[in-house]
């Protein structure tokens, strides 16, 4: 089992930056993929970015490349989502997810473990 806890969300203004954290505990594997998804009110769950734990390979959605990046701290079992130049359309609940796979999936159904989510609100 893996437990995931997100933190770092909050209310910011357009153009500001935020760094979200996802702390993993319990049984983790180097083959795991950890990802960030987000869900705005009335919208489906959207893939944001993912990192493969074994080699650190990352992949981000085209819509956020160059502005939102994922990284990891192996020693702390923590994944980060650095978000710069935030826009009102980034407003959503951001979820951390983990999948015991070497493949980075951009759909949410393959992911076995989920955090509780952290709210990000960007005002114009």
Tokens of 117: 């989510």
Provide the pLDDT for residue 32: 84
Tokens 């710069």, residue located = 84
Higher pLDDT, 102 or 79: 79
At 101, the pLDDT band (50, 70, 90 cuts) reads confident
CA distance 100 to 31: 6
Of 118, 122, 105, 123, nearest to 38 by C-alpha is 118
pLDDT tens digits for range 2-48: 899 999 999 999 999 999 999 999 876 665 899 999 999 999 999 99
DSSP state letters, 30-53 = TT-EEEEEEE-TTS--EEEEEEET
Of 119, 106, 111, 118, nearest to 47 by C-alpha is 106
CA distance 14 to 84: 10
pLDDT tens digits for range 37-66: 999 999 999 999 999 988 899 999 999 999
**Per-residue pLDDT for 87 more than 70?**
yes
């Amino acid at each position: 089992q893996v437990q995931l806890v997100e933190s770092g969300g909050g209310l910011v203004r357009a153009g500001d930056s935020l760094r979200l954290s996802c702390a993993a505990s319990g049984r983790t594997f180097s083959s795991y993929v950890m990802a960030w998804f987000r869900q705005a009110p009335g919208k489906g769950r959207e893939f944001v970015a993912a990192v493969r734990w074994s080699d650190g390979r990352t992949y981000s959605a085209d819509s956020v490349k160059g502005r939102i990046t994922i990284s990891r701290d192996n020693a702390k079992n923590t994944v980060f989502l650095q978000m710069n130049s935030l826009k009102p359309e980034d407003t959503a609940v951001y979820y951390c997810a983990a999948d015991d796979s070497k493949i980075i999936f951009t759909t949410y159904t393959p992911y076995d473990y989920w955090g509780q989510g952290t709210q990000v609100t960007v005002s114009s």
